[in-house]
Amino acid sequence: MAETKPLDSRDGMRFLGQVRRGNVFEETLGQLLRAMRLGVFPPGEKLPAERELAEALGVSRATLRDSLAELQSAGYLQVQRGRYGGTVVAAHPNTHENPLDDSDRARIEDVLAFRSVVEPAAAELAAGASLTATQRNNLMLAHEAVNSADATNYRPLDARLHVMIADLSASSMLAKAVAEARDATSELLDRIPFLKPNIAHSSRQHEDILNAILHGDGASAKKLMQEHLDGTATLLRGFLD
Amino acid sequence: MAETKPLDSRDGMRFLGQVRRGNVFEETLGQLLRAMRLGVFPPGEKLPAERELAEALGVSRATLRDSLAELQSAGYLQVQRGRYGGTVVAAHPNTHENPLDDSDRARIEDVLAFRSVVEPAAAELAAGASLTATQRNNLMLAHEAVNSADATNYRPLDARLHVMIADLSASSMLAKAVAEARDATSELLDRIPFLKPNIAHSSRQHEDILNAILHGDGASAKKLMQEHLDGTATLLRGFLD
DNA sequence: ATCTAATGGACTGAAATCAGTCCTTTGCAT
DNA sequence: ATGCAAAGGACTGATTTCAGTCCATTAGAT
């Protein structure tokens, strides 16, 4: 057996991966908030039935209901009973408490670096994939949804489009990474004021990216996505100066 | 409020993220195995004390001990009591049951695609970082450990080197992604026979990559890492033909 | 007007998990 | 030799979480 130097093994424990970050109730709450940020459950849409959602989250219905009750009383959800009832996602109550400050600098650079690795690559691979008619159509629907969004529901729909693009990349690991990057970005963006003019610009960029993907032009898709991300990067960085 | 089309929202639930994948005991077991695959706890080294490890994993000591007992009786760990005692990682019992077959094709491509997005980028960013003397030294130590490894402990030490490189990239999200990619790769490689000649070649490539990083040559680091990965890719793909 | 089925609401007892405490073993320092 | 401190081993009672069951409400179907 070869020698194995300890190195900074205590520090390497960073890559352990916690089994539980808190109690199940809190983690469930977190996953639901994340799903809403990512547009998995866009504003105005119904959540899956509790029994279904509980199973998807790997959690008992009782615990899920505790979390849902919390979100409901915080104004994120509206519940209606009876057949064809359900739990509806309200517009994201965009509270700008806890604004970004200089202590967030490292986190911002972390997220931006990760994003610009993972998203352009996903766009490039998506362009390389041969898409079904349904997939193309879904892309366009998602894009239109972003276009007709207002300030209260823009971010989740935007996130959904980006994740949807990554999901075409034939690598589920990459798609998952993009979802994580997007979520982290949304968390940061939720802490700065919403700027109106950016939307029109973003929309044009989305259109260019989608065109490149639909035409199978991977190089362009990658480049355009990179530029698209640069906008957000400048926005976030600029907010600290 | 703008219209929000359902799309394939049921399918989009893929990005929910389970709170729990099984019971805590099983998840703990999985995290420990993963840590061993990644060289977080290399063969021959002691695990942290139970009380410490339990806290790092976010799990009670009782549950951790259940998992450790399982790993011990499976031959992964050896326990010694008393002061200066501890739990030592045994050589990975490399069982080649459950070899790769054609049904793993999609998974393989998934992992390889993700890897070749995330690892070269991490190497490039690592080259851009200004490293401390300790960091440089740790890199060299990790490299030497890989060199003097034998078939029974090669993979974890190799993985550790790769994760260590990614950890220099100034993006903890990227480092985490590389760890995930590496672990997925190791899981696949553990299912094919170990080939001796590859080691020497890999070692040379590692050396070139480290040189590029230490000299701040990001472009070369990226390119060399890409080539390094191509070797594994060919190996895995070739095993299916 | 009634029935039906799908939904959220509520409760219970069982099982898993935890936090805390104390015991046992061991090698080094004295 | 002896004591100490750090490690694993073992137990207990409290808490969380679960699976299962039944209730209440509702809109459409009949």
Chain B, nearest residue to A57 by Cα: B18
* Out of A31, A45, A172, closest to residue B4 by CB: A45
* Out of A1, A15, A141, closest to residue B40 by CB: A15
> pTM for the whole thing?
0.94
Q: What does residue B78 show for φ and ψ, rounded to 5 degrees? A: -130, 130
Is some CB atom of chain A closer than 8 A to the CB atom of B184?
Answer: yes
Q: What does residue A92 show for φ and ψ, rounded to 5 degrees? A: -55, 115
The residues near A51 (Cβ < 8 Å, ≥ 6 apart) are: A61
Cα–Cα distances in Å, from A86 out to A76, A146, A157, A233, B15? Answer: 14, 24, 21, 38, 21
Interface of B with A in 115-134 (CB under 8 A): 117-118, 121-122, 125, 134
Q: Is strand C in 7 Å reach of the CB of B85?
A: yes
Instruction: Please choose, from the candidates B191, B108, B15, the residue with its C-alpha nearest in 3D space to the C-alpha of residue A171.
Output: B108
pLDDT digits (tens, 9 = 90+) for B204-228: 999 999 999 999 999 999 999 999 9
Cα–Cα distances in Å, from B99 out to A74, A84, B187, B192? Answer: 51, 48, 11, 6
Name the one residue in this structure whose structure tokens are 């799903």.
A35
pLDDT(B1) > 70: no
Distance in angstroms (rounded) separating the CA atoms of residues A25 and A27? 6
Is some CB atom of chain B closer than 8 A to the CB atom of A41?
Answer: yes
What average pLDDT is seen over chain A? 92
Pair of tokens at residue B43 = 């063969």
Predicted pLDDT at B207: 98
According to DSSP, residue A150 is labeled -
Instruction: Please choose, from the candidates B160, B149, B166, B167, the residue with its C-alpha nearest in 3D space to the C-alpha of residue B225.
Output: B166
According to DSSP, residue B46 is labeled B
> Would you call B58 and A18 a contact, using CB atoms and an 8 Å cutoff?
yes
What integer is the mean pLDDT of B29-44?
96
More confident residue, B92 or B164: B164
* Out of A27, A157, A167, closest to residue B19 by CB: A27
Q: Is strand C in 7 Å reach of the CB of A83?
A: yes
Is some CB atom of chain A closer than 8 A to the CB atom of B24?
Answer: yes
Residue to test with chain B: of A28, A111, A144, A173, most B Cβ within 10 A: A173
Classify strands A86-89 and A77-80 as parallel, antiparallel or unpaired.
antiparallel
Compute CA A39 distance to the chain's CA centroid, rounded to the nearest angstrom: 7
The residues near A185 (Cβ < 8 Å, ≥ 6 apart) are: A111, A115, A159, A232
A157 pLDDT band, cuts 50/70/90, is very high
pLDDT digits (tens, 9 = 90+) for B181-208: 999 999 999 999 887 767 889 999 999 9
A107 contact residues in B (CB cutoff 8 A): none
Instruction: Please choose, from the candidates A108, A123, A121, the residue with its C-alpha nearest in 3D space to the C-alpha of residue A187.
Output: A108
For chain B, what's the residue count?
241
Q: What is the CA radius of gyration of chain B?
A: 20
| One-letter amino acid for residue A51 of the chain | R
Percent above pLDDT 70 for chain B: 94
Residue nearest to nucleotide C27 (CA to C1'): B83
B149, B157 Cβ separation under 8 angstroms: yes
Q: Is strand C in 7 Å reach of the CB of A65?
A: yes
B28 contact residues in A (CB cutoff 8 A): 19
Helices (H), chain B: 9-12, 24-37, 50-57, 61-73, 105-128, 133-147, 154-166, 172-189, 197-214, 218-238
Pair of tokens at residue B208 = 């070139």
Predicted pLDDT at A193: 87
Q: How many CA atoms lie within 13 A of A8 on its CB side?
A: 15
For residue B106, the tally of other CB atoms under 10 A from its CB is 12
